[in-house]
Amino acid sequence: MATKANKNQVELQNTVNKYIDPLIEPIQKATGIGTWGGYDGAAQYLNSPRFDGLKRQGKDAYDLGLEKCLIAISETSISKSETTVLKNFANEHLDFILQLSKKSPEMFVGENGKIAQACKSVMNESQKKAFEKNLGINKVEKDSLVNKHLGADKVKPTFAERITQSREESLQQPAR
């Protein structure tokens, strides 16, 4: 049964890659220069016919596409210290960000704290509370201090590497 689930996950990933991969580089360029709207802005790619096609593939495909774009935007935002596109993405897809914080809190904690800060900056108080609750913010702060003390931050993988590792670990867990 786990094999069928893995096969479905691979098919879903391939479908998403077909639609999203051509958009990643232009989105990263727009993110690097902090451009959301206009001709060169990230919004034009996120609102493109490719995303419309992905929506027709279903919610799982659409959410995975958004997640892939969020990873690309986050990587570039962190490396360029430019959060304009990340904040606009979070504002436009706030429900998705809250859902993702519950499903994959590792995307927003520890070394990814800058991503959480940018996302929180566009939230109202009740959304911030829900976001922090999803992240288990008090536990995370404690774990972060323990990890620093143990020297866990000597070699830092990129954001995408950390997320990929987390996804691989979750796929290796036996099906319930």
Which of 20, 7, 90 lies closest to 54, judged by CA? Answer: 20
The values of phi and psi at residue 163, to 5°, are: -70, -45
What is the rounded CA–CA span in Å between residue 124 and residue 138? 20
What is the rounded CA–CA span in Å between residue 138 and residue 123? 19
What is the rounded CA–CA span in Å between residue 137 and residue 169? 22
Residue 15 and residue 7 in contact, taking contact as beta carbons nearer than 8 Å: no
pLDDT at 170: 67
pLDDT at 155: 55
Q: pTM score, two decimals?
A: 0.76
pLDDT at 140: 43
Residue 37 and residue 81 in contact, taking contact as beta carbons nearer than 8 Å: no
pLDDT tens track of the chain, all 176 residues?
557 777 888 999 999 999 999 999 999 999 999 999 999 999 999 999 999 999 999 999 999 999 999 999 999 999 999 999 999 999 999 999 999 999 999 999 888 899 999 999 999 999 999 999 999 875 445 445 344 444 444 556 677 777 777 777 766 666 55
Q: Which parts of the chain fold into alpha helices (H)?
A: 2-32, 42-46, 49-56, 59-80, 84-92, 94-103, 113-120, 125-135, 137-149, 159-172
What is the rounded CA–CA span in Å between residue 60 and residue 157? 27
